[in-house]
């Protein structure tokens, strides 16, 4: 599905004095999610930098609904859109620096792949697994993203959070309850940046490991087709993909949404899928798998609006 098939971005509108970012009204979120679905956001803000984000948050009504959006690679936004303000971090909050001999500090809008390549190039090992995760650091922190045995939070030394009043705080891993694709932290705080602790590594060896992990992904996943990666969490001791395939659901369709024929825990948008199509297919998968194996699959993808399966 090409970008040309997506609705156009809405025009930028003038900002209040003191703000330096980019504000759009009624912005189609299908342009900003990897599934290429989702209705419009009432307001959509791309901050110029962290100071500008603080000023923007302070300018909002205290009851304004907020949604943080990185690369939209783990989000199912309803066709009705989001009735509030989206803060879009990708391509904006992008600071990335070495910090001491084994550390690095990155802002939340840095893509995971860029972070992994930067670490490898500068002789830091231990986050190569991030190279194939098509999200931002902020999204990875929010979900404890992981792959090939690695998880982001095992590398976090500390994070900077921001609340809706623009207040910044430094926090350590002990302030968060971290589990499999799940992170629970203080209410009303989002990730602005993180410091990671890595290991010394040979750049060439780290880069070779990245190439190897990406090749492995290309062999097993429908890369290049709009998806959100794994739709369901793996149940304890089993794999969602195995259960979905065993229930005969590979290739199953609902409107423009299809269970990938390559990887059964992926749903791909074959063109023109709606969030409703995807949710209906998710519900059918859950019912069929539960009927066959007794396991109720739980979504890994974050659903915004709509009735969750
Ligand atoms: C092809 C493909 C392969 C994938 N493979 C993997 C994989 O191997 N492992 C894995 O873990 N995931 C995988 N994913 C899922 C996804 O890439 C990760 O979950 C990623 O970390 C999401 O980051 P994002 O920036 O896209 O987050 P988004 O989708 O933009 O947001 C996801 C959630 O995080 C919240 N969020 C975003 N930024 C912030 C912030 N700064 N502070 C607080 N909350 C925030 C959002 O509000 C939302 O609730 C894959 C996805 C695709 C499409």
Q: What is the DSSP string of 151-201?
A: EGGGGEEEEEEEETT--EEEE-GGGSEEETTEEE-STTEEEEEEEEE-EE-
Task: Report the separation in Å between the CA atom of 289 and the middle of ligand 1, taken as the mean of its atom positions.
Answer: 25
* 12 vs 299: CA distance, rounded Å: 34
Compute CA distances 5 → 72, 81, 136, 301, whole Å: 18, 18, 24, 24
Predicted pLDDT of residue 222: 86
For 165-191, write each residue's pLDDT tens digit: 999 999 999 999 999 999 999 999 999
The mean-pLDDT minimum among 3-17, 40-54, 65-79 falls in 3-17
Active site residue 181: yes
Q: Is the pLDDT of residue 3 over 80?
A: no
Q: Is the CB of 89 under 6 A from ligand 1?
A: yes
Q: Is the CB of 266 under 6 A from ligand 1?
A: no
Mean residue pLDDT across the chain: 95
* 266 vs 280: CA distance, rounded Å: 14
Q: Cα–chain-centroid distance for residue 307?
A: 20
* pTM for this prediction: 0.95
Q: Which of 45, 74, 147, 223 to mutate to test the pocket of ligand 1 (most atoms within 8 A of CB)?
A: 74
What mean pLDDT do residues 205-224 have? Answer: 93
What letter does residue 236 receive in the DSSP assignment?
Answer: T
Task: Report the separation in Å between the CA atom of 232 and the middle of ligand 1, taken as the mean of its atom positions.
Answer: 14
* 75 vs 204: CA distance, rounded Å: 34
* 130 vs 126: CA distance, rounded Å: 9
Kindly state the percentage of the chain with pLDDT values over 90.
90
Do 53 and 93 touch, CB atoms closer than 8 A? yes
* 227 vs 111: CA distance, rounded Å: 17
Q: Is the CB of 39 under 6 A from ligand 1?
A: no
Task: Report the separation in Å between the CA atom of 141 and the middle of ligand 1, taken as the mean of its atom positions.
Answer: 8
For 99-132, write each residue's pLDDT tens digit: 999 999 999 999 999 999 999 999 999 999 999 9
Active site residue 300: yes
In this structure, the residue with its CA closest to atom 34 of ligand 1 is 139
């Amino acid at each position: 599905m090409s970008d040309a098939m997506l609705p156009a971005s809405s025009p930028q509108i003038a900002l209040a004095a003191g703000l330096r970012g980019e504000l759009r009204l009624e912005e189609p979120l299908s342009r900003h999610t990897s599934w290429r679905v989702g209705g419009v956001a009432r307001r959509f803000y791309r901050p110029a930098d962290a100071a500008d984000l603080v000023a923007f948050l302070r300018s909002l009504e205290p009851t304004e609904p907020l949604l943080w959006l990185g690369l939209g690679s783990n989000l199912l936004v309803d066709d009705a859109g989001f009735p509030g303000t989206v803060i879009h971090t990708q391509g904006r909050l992008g600071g990335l620096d070495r910090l001491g001999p084994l550390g690095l500090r990155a802002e939340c809008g840095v893509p995971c792949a860029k972070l992994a390549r930067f670490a490898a190039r500068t002789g830091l090992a231990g986050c190569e697994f991030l190279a194939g995760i098509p999200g931002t650091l902020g999204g990875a922190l929010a979900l404890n993203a992981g792959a090939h045995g690695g998880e982001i939070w095992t590398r976090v030394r500390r994070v900077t959070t921001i609340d809706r009043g623009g207040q910044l705080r430094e926090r350590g891993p002990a302030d968060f309850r971290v589990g499999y694709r799940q992170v629970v932290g203080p209410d009303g705080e989002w990730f602005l940046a993180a410091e990671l602790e890595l290991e010394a590594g040979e750049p060439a060896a780290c880069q070779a490991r990245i190439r190897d992990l990406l090749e492995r992904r290309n062999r097993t996943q429908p890369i290049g087709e709009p998806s959100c990666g794994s739709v369901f969490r793996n149940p304890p001791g089993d794999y969602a993909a195995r259960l979905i395939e065993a229930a005969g659901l590979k290739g199953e369709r609902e409107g423009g949404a299809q269970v990938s024929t390559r990887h059964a825990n992926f749903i791909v948008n074959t063109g023109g899928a709606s969030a409703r199509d995807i949710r209906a297919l998710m519900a059918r998968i859950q019912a069929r798998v539960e009927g066959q194996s007794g396991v109720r699959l739980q979504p890994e993808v974050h659903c915004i609006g709509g009735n969750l399966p």
